[in-house]
């Protein structure tokens, strides 16, 4: 795969020095290679986006909306191929890959609707002072760089790409080097739809490519999803030019289970929150706070549920959980298993890498984990759940909030008044009550504290790519 970069409406060969190996994590073997983009090609992509900006933003909102609907339709037409690629490159079970694709389709369709509503938001502003009129005008922020992660590549890119295009921005998209193939579908769709050249550019590469994009002086905004370590580097690059950023970073989220909750239902919500995508989610509810009155009944049931999960190759088996997506992540999670043994944590389920080909680990449950344990406080990004007991509502809130992250949380209780009260007290960006982590395009996504800056999805996602201009006129 040599023509792996989409710049100014053309597929071009990578001219960088890095060779990217694309792996099947269920086998631990590569199945494709591509050459990274060079720094010069990043320059070309940004220049193409800059050249395309005046024409793209001048199009009517309804015209841009038609292109977005075209992306949604074309994703649907490529359904089986994209699902298979997600399963092979990410290790996602089929049902997860299907939901990811449906999410991406819904995102483009939703922002097509919001794009059509943009002209209505340019309106007169009433003034208290006589003799003046004022109006507000929403304009695209300009050329934006989009850097997306490997755990939800098709989805996260849609969350950024759709609102950026709806706003009238032009973009340079940099996929993860772990999963660089699936975003190429967006370039293929752009060709099919006749999207103006330069509106969408895709450059693949490793750290050098990402650094070249995030520090590029031709960008007007940068949106990044990934680790806190890289996010801080992105923010430093943006600060040199006072460039706005959206950062969606890590999490160490809590799921709080009160003793009036149905045990079987609670187990379902807990398992989904830690094993979906093999726990490789910034939103994984990896800290379980369970009330004393239900703990003795719930923890053994939870142990059994985790041990019954079918773990295997999604391309050849009917599985509940696939492998970790990369060898680096497999080694990281294995390192936390070693730390747990060193700390003497009590393991009820899992706690080991599986002895088979590929990058598999067992769904894991540690109980009575002290708050000073590394496993309690650090983001592991794997199917590793740490549990603690609590007595009172106040204690549960305090321990849930005692984290440098603040992305999401889940509250499980039959007392809905209490559940709503606890949800309001949690210092996070999104709370589920008595639910799996259902994410809807109409709601916001993002966190507090170290979990990032800004919001994606909903109207908030669109506003992140819009600049507000006011025009004031003297009537005298």
Annotated active-site residue 19? The verdict is: no
Give SS3 for 308.
helix
Exposure letters 2-19 (e unless 16+ CB within 10 A, then b): eebbbbbbeebebebebe
Residue 456 forms beta bridges with which residues?
445
Helix (H) or strand (E) holding 48: helix 39-58
438 Cβ neighbours under 8 A, 6+ residues apart: 432
Q: Which segments within 203-269 are labelled E, that is strand?
A: 221-225, 245-248, 254-257
Q: Which of 96, 177, 183, 248 is catalytic?
A: 248
Q: Does residue 225 sit in helix, strand or coil?
A: strand
The answer to whether residues 61 and 116 touch, using CB atoms and an 8 Å cutoff, is: yes
Catalytic residue among 282, 386, 412, 456: 282
Whether residue 120 lies in the annotated active site:
no
Q: How far apart are CA 236 and CA 14, in angstroms?
A: 27
Phi, psi dihedral angles at 204 (to 5 degrees): -100, 150
Burial class (CB in 10 A: 0-12, 13-18, 19+), 243: buried
Q: Are 363 and 256 in contact (CB under 8 A)?
A: no
SS3 content of the chain, % helix, strand, coil (to 5): 40, 20, 35
User: What is the set of active-site residues?
Assistant: 248, 282
């Amino acid at each position: 795969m040599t023509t792996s970069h989409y710049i100014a409406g053309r597929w071009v060969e990578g001219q960088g020095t890095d060779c990217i190996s694309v792996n099947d994590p269920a086998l631990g073997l590569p199945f494709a290679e591509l050459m990274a983009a060079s720094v010069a090609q990043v320059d070309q992509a940004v220049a193409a986006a800059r050249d395309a900006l005046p024409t793209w933003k001048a199009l009517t909102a309804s015209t841009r909306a038609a292109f977005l609907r075209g992306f949604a339709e074309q994703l649907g037409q490529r359904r089986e191929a994209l699902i298979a690629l997600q399963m092979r490159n990410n290790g996602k079970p089929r049902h997860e890959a299907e939901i990811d694709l449906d999410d991406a389709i819904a995102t483009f369709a939703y922002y097509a609707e919001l794009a059509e509503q943009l002209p209505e938001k340019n309106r007169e502003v009433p003034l208290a002072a006589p003799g003046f009129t004022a109006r507000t005008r929403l304009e695209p922020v300009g050329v934006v760089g989009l850097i997306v992660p490997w755990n939800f590549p098709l989805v996260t890119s849609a969350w950024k790409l759709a609102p950026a295009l709806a706003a009238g921005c032009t973009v340079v998209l940099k996929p993860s080097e772990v999963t660089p193939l699936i975003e190429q579908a967006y370039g293929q769709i752009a060709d099919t739809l006749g999207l103006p050249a330069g509106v969408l550019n895709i450059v693949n590469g490793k750290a050098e490519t990402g650094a070249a994009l995030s520090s590029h002086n031709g960008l007007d905004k940068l949106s990044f999803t990934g680790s806190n370590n890289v996010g801080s580097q992105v923010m430093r690059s943006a600060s040199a030019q006072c460039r706005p950023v959206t950062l969606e970073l890590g999490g160490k989220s809590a799921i709080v289970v009160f003793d009036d909750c149905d045990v079987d239902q609670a187990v379902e919500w807990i398992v989904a929150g830690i094993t979906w995508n093999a726990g490789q989610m910034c939103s994984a509810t990896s800290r379980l706070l369970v009330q004393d009155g239900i703990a003795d009944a719930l923890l053994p049931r939870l142990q059994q549920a985790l041990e019954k999960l079918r773990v295997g190759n999604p391309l050849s088996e009917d599985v509940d959980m696939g492998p970790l997506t990369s060898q680096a992540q497999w080694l990281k999670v294995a390192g936390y298993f070693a730390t747990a043994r060193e700390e003497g944590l009590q393991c009820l389920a899992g706690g080991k890498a599986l002895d088979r080909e590929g990058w598999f680990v067992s769904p894991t449950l540690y109980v009575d984990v002290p708050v000073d344990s590394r496993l309690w406080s650090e983001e592991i990004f794997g199917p590793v759940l740490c549990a603690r007991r609590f007595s009172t509502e106040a204690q549960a809130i305090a321990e849930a909030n005692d984290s440098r992250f603040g992305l999401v949380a889940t509250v499980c209780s039959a007392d809905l008044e209490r559940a709503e009260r606890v949800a309001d007290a949690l210092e996070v960006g999104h709370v589920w009550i008595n639910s799996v982590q259902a994410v809807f395009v109409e709601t916001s996504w993002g966190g507090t504290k170290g979990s990032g800056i800004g919001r994606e999805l909903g109207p908030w996602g669109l506003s992140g790519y819009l600049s507000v201009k006011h025009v004031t006129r003297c009537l005298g």
